[in-house]
Structure 1
Amino acid sequence: MSEVPPANGRLRVLLTEASSNSAREVLTVLGGQGHEVGVMDSGGISFTALSRWVEHRHPSPPFAADPLRYLDALREVLAGHSYDVVLPTHEQLVALARHRDEFRKLVPGLAVPGFDAVRRVQDKAAAARLLDELGLPQPDTTLVTSEPELLAQADRLPAYVKLPVATSSRGVWLAENPGRLSEIAKTPAVREALTGGETLLVQQPLAGPLIMVSALFDHGVLSGAHVSMRKREGVQGSASAKESVVLPDVTQHLATLGAALDWHGPLSIDAVLDEPSGTVRYIDINPRLVEPMNAELAGADLVRRWLAVSRGENAGPRPEPRAGIRTHMLLTAVVRHAEVGRGRRAILRELIQAAARRGWYAGSKEELLPVRSDPAVALPLLAISALLLLSPRLWQRLAPTGAPAHALTPQGWQQLTA
């Protein structure tokens, strides 16, 4: 490989997938910083597809279908191209951690933790035990290993039932009454998990806004952190609007967690904020960096610091992000109206408000599809909006309920842990 340029120069960066919101937002930051970006592309709907910032597109099999086959394709790309840094923008980080020593020899810049640390956060039951061990707050949680144990939770409803490995709100059910709990216990995914000796979570719901925490670690030391609050819900439980907040306790919790795991690279956590007390309770840990544009606009500098940590460089003093930075994802707000059956009028009203910069859009910046800086991304926004105005029911084809191609499925997790 050729000599690696300094981190403040133009780097050759490979993103491990092209279809997630996180990949699109990382691409926006890298493109704005002038880096040369390639993506591993498994096809399908992709918000990176028309971007002027993607200079190299490498076909790959879907990660969700077969992580090991995906890794074979990634090896070929790295053997044939001189990339400086690989940024795992979704759960490809899990697979790369499993083969960390090998991939560190194939690319100069790669920040992933040890696989033992990944096991402790990727498996939700293990993560719940870890939070309890470290004294970090979480909802009232019970671990169950059999159908009778699950059904015995009927007196603790409502509660969420969670598979040990699930992504993007999939593998999570809300049991509001004993009848619904019985239905959940009979679903194939739950039965398969329990008969396979896995542990499920039964977790009490909490009142309060969803908090999204993003962090970057350098061998267990917190190198960057950002916290935002979901202000409006998007399709399938996502956030169509966020606002940055400052919660000092969260920073301390992150430092404790990263040190305990000796974590290296990105980590994100979902939490619920009890506003009267100011207590944050953690409900999900993700071994990746989730949607970093709000963090970038708030001054957290996570993507640049991720590049530096990947290359073994000192990222410098950790910045303090600003509170009150508002961002939105117009497309997820539009699809949300279709998802919940609000109809064409609500969709049209949302589009008009965004165009006129009214309501939430006053003083807020688009984080997913930056039309001004990357104009071609307006095409999917216009096309999808037109389809939903024609028939709102089409949202189901645009946001399928199955695992996306970039996500890690329970079967993929078993493949990596065999």
Structure 2
Amino acid sequence: MAKRRLRVLLSEGGSTSARQAISVLGRAGHHVEICDPSPLCLGRFSRFVRAVHRCPPLRRDPAGYLGFVTDLLATHRFDVLLPIHEQGLVFARAPDRIAELSGVALPSYASYRTAVTKAGFSRLLESLGLPQPPTRIVISERELREIACTPCVIKTSVGTASRGVWRVPDRAALERAVRELHAADGFAGEVLVQDCVAGPIEHAQAVFDRGELLALHAYRQIAAGAGGGPSHKLSIRGDAVRADVAAIGAALGWHGALSFDVIRPANDARPLFIDCNPRLVEPMSAQLAGLDLVDLLLRLSLGEHPASPAPSRDGVRSHLGMQALLGCALRSGSRQDVMRECGRLMLRQPPYAGSAEELTQVGRDWFSAVPLAATAVILMAAPGRAAALAAKGWGDHLLDAAAIARIDRGFEPA
């Protein structure tokens, strides 16, 4: 564990990943500050956060965002910059500029660029001979219609938290997906079409030291919340994906955190990779299972080469209460269902019995209860507002294809 108290700057504060990292860092005694374009981001509601710096939005102004962060690092002298979300792409584009101001653990820009898009990751899997659902990549509506056979999954190449993903069971759903792709300018970039594969969704979180796998944590999605991400998790052994994850990290020369979504086919065959996130996604599951991935990132950021820690425990249950409530409201739209879910959450009745809260650990951080309580009150009064509340997590702190293109060009004006 990083022995001294560090000054840590998080690259954003609106995501569930950032909120969980704040808890891990704060409980370890580190000084935590965040920058985010929203003055009311999720991370603000924590007693561990010493300051919130309102920054330009990454998506609309990546150059302004980078300038803001580098000025902040220069004036406040942080020990570590922690790229907790897609902002890592901007930092990887200007590694020397960042490295002279703060410790940071990042791969090369080319490697990050490969991992940040679904098309890039799919091509990497193909080149390494690693398993994924049968996948085709198209760039037009005509091509999409020619190859799309239902049921299938359609994905834009850029997207986070299930944005830009359509599950297409029939032709009517395909027509809706095409209309929404046009509305979102989805055909401006590459579009993936994948065969549907039945089986549970699992997640793997890895930390690498210059291409060498240091640590791996895995968990199974027990139930989905808002946006399709897991609201209930069960930690599992990662043996089934360890060799493949190590091969991906070695091929990319990855330095820092890298996370994956996989499907384990119903016949219990080799898991299939379906997504990659070039960052640490929601680290609390690993923390509860005895593996401190955040501390490993801090040590790598400081230039250390830590030894591989003991593996995480399997069988640890955890949940995100806020995501569960939003998911309940989105599925049913019923006030009664939301109230019943609130009751089960408060009384720790199944499925919350024997499960630890990841997002709002009120006993250690009372201020974190504010967003959860506000979400519960709003949904009990108006369940139909669930979609708008969930969308707040998918804001201007995330990348889109246009922002990536500007970063590729070196932050030229739009």
Alignment TM-score > 0.5, same fold: yes
Contact map agreement 2:14 2:393 (CA 8 A) in 1: no
Q: What do the CA deviations read for 1:329-386 (whole angstroms, capped 9, x no partner)?
A: 1111111111112412221212222222221211110000110000011122112211
CA contact (8 A) 2:14 2:43 kept: yes
1:144-183 to 2 correspondences below 5 Å: 144-154=138-148, 156-183=149-176
Q: Which residue of 1 aligns with 2:122?
A: 128
Alignment of 1:191-230 (within 5 A): 192-194=185-187, 196=188, 198-230=189-221
Report if the CA contact (8 A) 1:403-1:409 is conserved. Answer: no
Asked whether 1:365 is paired with 2:356, we answer yes
> Aligned-residue CA RMSD in angstroms?
1.8
Counterpart residue number, 2:295: 304
The match for 1:378 among 349, 369, 375 is 369
The alignment status of 1:114 with 2:122, answered yes or no, reads no
- Is 2:321 aligned against 1:330? yes
Deviation at 1:147, TM superposition (A): 2.4
Residue 191 of structure 1 and its aligned partner are, at CA, apart by 8.3
Q: How does 1:46-125 map to 2 (within 5 A)?
A: 46-107=41-102, 109-125=103-119
Q: Secondary structure at the match of 2:133?
A: coil
In 2, are the aligned partners of 1:224 and 1:301 still within 8 Å (CA)? no
Structure 1 residue runs of 4+, over 6 Å off? none
1:60–1:70: 8 Å Cα contact kept in structure 2? yes
The range that moved more, 403-412 or 219-228, is 403-412
Greater CA deviation, 171-180 or 306-315? 171-180
Alignment correspondent of 1:412: 403
Q: Structure 1 residues 44 and 407, CA, compared in 2 at 3 Å: closer, same or farther?
A: same
Is this contact kept in 1: 2:362–2:369, CA < 8 A? yes
1:270–1:285 contact (8 Å) kept in structure 2:
yes
Contact 1:151 1:182 in 2 (8 A): no
Q: CA deviation at 1:14?
A: 0.5
- 1:64 Cα offset (Å): 2.2
Q: Does 1:399 align with 2:393?
A: no
* Percent of residue pairs bearing the same amino acid type: 38
Q: Could you list the per-position Cα deviations for residues 269-292 of structure 1 after superposition, in whole angstroms to 9, with x for gaps in the alignment?
A: 111112532421110111111000
Q: Is the 8 A contact 2:206 2:217 kept in 1?
A: yes
Counterpart CA distance in 1 for 2:183 and 2:129 is 29
Unaligned runs of 5+ in 2: 410-414
Q: CA deviation at 1:307?
A: 0.5
Counterpart contact for 2:58–2:396, Cα < 8 Å: yes
Per-residue CA deviation, residues 3-39 of structure 1 (Å, 9 max, x unaligned), is xxx9311011100001100000000000110001111
Task: Assess, with a 3 A threshold, how the Cα gap between structure 1 residues 329 and 104 changes in structure 2: closer, same or farther.
Answer: same
TM-score by length of 1: 0.93
TM score, norm. by length of structure 2: 0.94
Paired residues, number: 409
Which residue of structure 2 aligns with residue 3 of structure 1? none
Aligned-pair distance for 1:57? Answer: 1.9
- 1:192-234 Cα offsets, whole Å, 9 max, x none, are 454x4x4321011211111111111110001111101111110
Alpha-carbon distance in structure 2 between the residues aligned to 1:140 and 1:16: 35
CA distance in 2, matches of 1:61, 1:191: 23
C-alpha contact (below 8 Å) 1:184/1:190 kept by paired residues: no
Structure 1: any 5+ residue segments left out of the alignment? 1-5
Q: CA 1:403–1:146 in 2, change beyond 3 Å: closer, same or farther?
A: same
- Secondary structure of the corresponding residue to residue 264 of structure 2: strand
Matches within 5 A, 1:235-314: 235-314=226-305
Is 1:185 matched with 2:178? Answer: yes
For 2:412, the equivalent position in structure 1 comes to: none
**What is the CA distance between 1:44 and its match in structure 2?**
5.0
